[in-house]
Amino acid sequence: MPVKSQASGSTGMSQPSPESDSHSQEIPSISAVLLNVPNTVTYSRIILLLWAAVVAASRPRLALTLWLLNFVLDGVDGALARRLGQTSAFGAFLDVAVDIASRGLLWVGWAAAVAAADAAAVTAAGATAAVGTPVAGATAPATALAAAGGGAAGATGRGASLLAAAALPLSLSVVLLECLVFTCTHAAAGAAWKHESHFDAAPAWVAAVMARGFKTPPGCLAIAGLMGCPLWLWACRALPQPGPWSHPALGAVLVAGRLLAAGVEVWLLGAHLRALLRSDERELELRRARRSGQGLLRQQQEEEGAGVGAVAGAVVGAVAGRSAAAEQEERKLGQAEEEGDLALAGGVAAVIAEVGEGEEQGGRGTGAAAERSQGSGGEGRRGSASPAGPAD
């Protein structure tokens, strides 16, 4: 919408903020990943998968065609991604997730078909037993034939019951194993989990399966068993028999391939668990090292504290000793000063006494001299006066 520019007064389009710019650039990039050609093919595989699951019971031949097309497109989307340069982590994840979902539905569909066949066999065995019940007046050969037919039906029913009891747990175990391996491989290396460098320490038969992206005879056998075995098992139960899909040789190859793939899956799961345990072990060792380092640091600090305490004690003792010696010296000096002061005071007193005695003796001498001088002066005055008198 046109707005008036406050700077120039002209009319123009509003300028988007840098934040909206970055957001608008981010959305097309995500759309380009979600809607690229290989992922679009994978979305079509999801539609085929759901369609086959819906019509599997009522139209098994159509379901078989849809599943075969689904597996063919599994190879097409990967080839298109590499050729068009549109590989992505999301596409790799989605592709494997659809593979596991397709095989899981086939395994569960086979278990359901086995359970339905078991129920039908039980019903047929009950009907056969009812037909084979001896009738009053029946001949012995007829009774023996009915008993033999009932026994054969019972044995068949027991075998079908055992297969039906094992089919569902086996199917769920296979699906669970595939999900666990998918989780382990993509958590460890993402879409690059199939790279040959990840299998350098693997057994030779595992490395042979994984070499060159499964493009080896063992790899092809494992992929054929992984994708084809559940489809073959389901077809043998859901489609009319006999047929080309129920040939024993085909079944033997597919079952052997699935067992080989299961061995690789078990090894991958074990390798991932071992890697996790090694990582936990290293983490524990680091924690122990940190704790031991902290303990050594505390011990060193305590030893340093004890050494500092000892040094401080020695310093305090030396200072105390020096203080005591200084006090003794001060006492001695004080005593010497006191003795010196006393001696000085005695000497001064003696000097003062001597000076006093000298002054006293001097005073006495001076007085005597004065007396003598006074006496002699009187006599002179008297002598001088007496001659003058007679002259008068």
**pLDDT tens profile 64-110:** 999 999 999 998 998 899 899 998 889 989 999 999 999 999 999 99
CB 221 within 8 A of CB 208: no
**Per this entry, what is the length of the chain?**
392
Alpha carbon distances (Å) from 4 to 16, 17, 21, 88, 298: 15, 17, 22, 45, 72
Examine residue 92 and state whether it is found in any structural domain, yes or no: yes
Q: Which of 257-261, 285-289, 324-328 has the highest mean pLDDT?
A: 257-261
Examine residue 321 and state whether it is found in any structural domain, yes or no: no
CA–CA separation, 36 and 83 (whole Å): 13
> pLDDT-based confidence at 130, cuts 50/70/90?
low
Q: Identify the residue whose tokens are 């990582």.
A: 279
Domain containing 88 equals: 32-133+145-183
Query: Which of residues 71 and 362 earns the better pLDDT score?
Result: 71
Q: Tokens in use for 306?
A: 């004890």
Average pLDDT, stretch 161-178? 89
Lowest mean pLDDT of 167-171, 326-330, 386-390, name the range.
386-390
Average pLDDT, stretch 33-43? 93
Q: What is the pLDDT of residue 298?
A: 77
Average pLDDT, stretch 332-353? 69
Per DSSP, 200 falls in state T
Per DSSP, 242 falls in state S
**Per-residue burial over 73-88, b = 16 or more CB atoms within 10 Å of its CB, e = otherwise:** bbeebbebbeeeebeb
Q: What is the pLDDT of residue 387?
A: 42
Q: What is the pLDDT of residue 317?
A: 64
Task: Count CA atoms closer than 13 A to 340's CA, side-chain side.
Answer: 6
Alpha carbon distances (Å) from 163 to 25, 107, 183: 57, 14, 30
Examine residue 85 and state whether it is found in any structural domain, yes or no: yes
Q: Tokens in use for 256?
A: 């052997």
CA–CA separation, 87 and 95 (whole Å): 11
CB 203 within 8 A of CB 267: yes
Residue pLDDT, tens place only, 237-286: 888 878 777 888 999 999 999 999 999 999 999 999 998 999 999 999 99
Q: Identify the residue whose tokens are 């006093």.
A: 356
Name residues whose C-beta falls within 8 Å of residue 5's C-beta, 6 or more positions apart in sequence: 11, 12
Average pLDDT, stretch 210-224? 92
Residue pLDDT, tens place only, 369-382: 555 555 555 444 44
Q: Tokens in use for 128?
A: 């056969």
If residue 266 lies in a helix (H) or strand (E), which one and from where to where?
helix 248-391
State which amino acid sits at residue 321.
G
Lowest mean pLDDT of 138-152, 175-189, 300-314, name the range.
138-152
If residue 30 lies in a helix (H) or strand (E), which one and from where to where?
helix 18-34
Q: What is the pLDDT of residue 143?
A: 44
Q: Tokens in use for 203?
A: 């057994």
Q: What is the pLDDT of residue 147?
A: 47
Examine residue 307 and state whether it is found in any structural domain, yes or no: no
CB 181 within 8 A of CB 269: yes
CB 110 within 8 A of CB 167: yes
Per DSSP, 17 falls in state P
Examine residue 167 and state whether it is found in any structural domain, yes or no: yes
Per DSSP, 379 falls in state H
Examine residue 353 and state whether it is found in any structural domain, yes or no: no
Q: Which of 55-64, 132-141, 143-152 has the highest mean pLDDT?
A: 55-64
Q: Count structural domains, the chain.
A: 1
> In sequence order, what are the beta bridge partners of 11?
4
User: Cα 149 from chain centroid?
Assistant: 65
Examine residue 57 and state whether it is found in any structural domain, yes or no: yes
- Say whether pLDDT at 343 is over 80: no
Mean pLDDT taken over the chain: 76
pTM exceeding 0.85: no
Q: Identify the residue whose tokens are 């460890």.
A: 188
Q: State the DSSP string of 65-82.
A: HHHHHHHHHHHHHHHHHH
> pLDDT-based confidence at 348, cuts 50/70/90?
low
Helices and strands per DSSP (H, E), number in the chain: 8, 2
Examine residue 158 and state whether it is found in any structural domain, yes or no: yes
